[in-house]
Structure 1
């Protein structure tokens, strides 16, 4: 099991350094930073990192979250809020077996002042909430420490009855290799194109509609072969619509001339 910690647009360098130290405490060494708003290797960061300064030196920097997670087969976003059209947050005990069953998990944390936005959470297959008292706002390094502890150092075992998954949540992934984040994003982009092509949705409602489909399809824990299977069906729809358009004397909407069933 490998775990990558992804910090999205961190504002304060000291928080990045403290997060790196928390990672080292728990045995994580893959730090990825998306669009940092600070010099994450400055003296304040190094002072907070202490012996984890090497993690700062090795950190990979990305412009967008989708690039930082494309090689991961499980993406876990952290959030203390419930969004109406996204999957509800799960308790860490529910997420633990998913992480242990994945090859490479991205554990994603948002900006200090706002957390992950909806666009970032869309890219996460699972949303996790660290349980707290009524005041739910955690310091970035605290959130990293608790989350990494849960997956790397806590005792293994099934969730307790108090934290049993609710109906419809992902409770465990099958013992097989999951599709990469980049493959799932390719599927979702393809699905959006077909939705627009067939009039299933329009430009105004497309994002909300696709979020609902993301929740449903992420629950299926697709493998790479299953992604190819679904995309083969979507290509068939595009090809068929193109034929109908041609028969009606219309210009095809950029549909492929041939139809491979599998990639």
Structure 2
């Protein structure tokens, strides 16, 4: 039993199946594409290359995903590769006259992520000839990656990377913090921010930059600027410290 079968997240449920892969380097590259997106269940069907899991090129191209490569399984048929799966998607750039419904990677990923009972598999074919019709017809859907119609050629690992990326997004969302990655302090309260504005206004008046009798729109514009930054408590304290120093060093009003 694959260790991921106890994991009900999409990361534990999704299997990548490579059929008759010709180059060991591509196996390693697919392992790397999978690991960067959090997936690890890899099965090879009758690979055409020798020692695809231990070949030096496979290990080099895996580049840190050696654990995915080492845990991959080699089987002799698509039936064995899909054991335990209840939904299979053939991946092909070539549309067939008689094929299962055609889905995009995003549609497949949303479907797979939204049904915890589903144990899906992505089936990718040989680098040169792709998947045989017999295997495509055994799958529930055919995935076609939208690409430039004038040149839609993706190599095996590129296709696997696109599929793994879409699956990850469906599983966890984009995970992007609009403030960026790194240290995140406590968000400043409204009272703290209002105190900062009052302190800053006092400093600008002391500096002669702001006319208290004719302030125009300066403070509302500064408030609009700072409202876009999602100020943290420490940042408010820094700005108030700057205001304090401005006030301390500002010339007396009768000398301004």
Where on the TM-score scale, by shorter chain, does this alignment land: which range?
0.5 to 0.7
The Cα shift of 1:104 comes to 1.5
Q: Which residue of 1 aligns with 2:104?
A: 91
Q: Which residue of 1 aligns with 2:45?
A: 34
Give the alignment partner of residue 28 of structure 2, picking from 3, 9, 17: 17
* Cα distance in 1, alignment partners of residues 63 and 108 from structure 2: 30
The Cα shift of 1:154 comes to 4.9
Q: How does 1:155-234 map to 2 (within 5 A)?
A: none
Larger Rg: 2
Q: TM-score, normalised by structure 1?
A: 0.57
Over 2 Å off, 4+ runs? 153-157
Q: Which residue of 1 aligns with 2:127?
A: 112
The Cα shift of 1:55 comes to 1.3
Q: Is the 8 A contact 1:82 1:88 kept in 2?
A: no
Q: Is the 8 A contact 2:100 2:137 kept in 1?
A: no
Where structure 1 has 5 or more consecutive residues not aligned to the other structure, the ranges are 158-263
Q: Is the 8 A contact 2:100 2:136 kept in 1?
A: no
Q: Which residue of 2 aligns with 1:137?
A: 153
The Cα shift of 1:80 comes to 1.4
Q: Which residue of 2 aligns with 1:152?
A: 168
The Cα shift of 1:33 comes to 0.3
Q: TM-score, normalised by structure 2?
A: 0.58
Where 1:153 maps in the other structure, the secondary structure is helix
Tell whether 2:140 aligns with 1:125: yes
Where structure 2 has 5 or more consecutive residues not aligned to the other structure, the ranges are 1-9, 174-256
The Cα shift of 1:155 comes to 7.4
